[in-house]
Copies of this chain bind each other. A is one copy, B any other.
Amino acid sequence: MTTAMRNQAAILFDLDGTLVDSVYQHVLAWRRALFDQGFDLSAWRIHRRVGMSGGLLVHALGRELGHEFSASQVEEVQAAHTRYFHEAGDTVRPLPGASHLLQELSRRHVPVAVATSGTRETAGASLGSLGLGPEVPVVTRDEVPFAKPDPDLFLAAADRLGASIGNCIVVGDSIWDILAARRAGALGVGLLSGGYSRQELEVAGAFRVYQDPAAMEVRLEELGIRM
């Protein structure tokens, strides 16, 4: 890529914990769903898996318990998670500055997409609360074979924007976002708004770490996003 050919960077956002304040509700919804199946998983262990695909999360937690979940058990846990998460629905709100950041990026003509390990069903209300414009593609777990930490979601999102993945900045709150960004060949920016610590995100390879969308907007120039 020569300098003359270089395009404006595109930004690929994770959803939960990055644009909407929903991680803690997801944690407790997974916890209740697993408990219904007889598995008493600690909330912190679930927290550290949220952001990866729901199927992977259940299998990974099962392995910590020394239990192999069957495909039908995984489905039941996922269905119960969706149900419990919807119960918390009205407490899920955009993170500070999320909508404003998206507007500001649009004003600066920065291509933006959203890529989430969640399903269209669990993500719907959150996406609605952000007031995304029609120019913002959204890729959900239903649309790719493998969710994070596999790179597929971010690759598909870059594709929708017609952007080269090497020219994309992935923004996420979990180490699965940062790992998936690295696997895809994009830069990963971490936000603390999902409850991971700065060090966990840095150790995973985050290029920069900000508190939340509002704090990121103040520092857009650090990412080479110009007025």
Contacts and interface: CB of A to CB of B under 8 A. Distances in A.
Contact of A44 (B25, B43, B192): B192
Contacts of A32: 91
A114 B38 CA distance: 29
Interface of A is mostly: helix
A25 B42 CA distance: 12
Interface string A1-37: 0000000000000000100010111011001100100
Given A24-B24, A24-B28, A195 B93 contact: no
B31 A28 contact: no
A165 to B, nearest CB: 28
Contacts of A44: 17, 21, 23, 192-195
Interface in A83-122: 88, 91, 93, 95-96
Nearest to A192: B44
A43 B28 contact: no
Most buried by B among A23, A35, A192, A197: A197
Given A195-B195, A200-B197, A47 B31 contact: no
Contacts of A25: 28
A40 interface: yes
B21 A43 contact: yes
Most buried by B among A27, A42, A95: A42
A70 interface: no
Interface in A146-179: none
A44 to B, nearest CB: 4
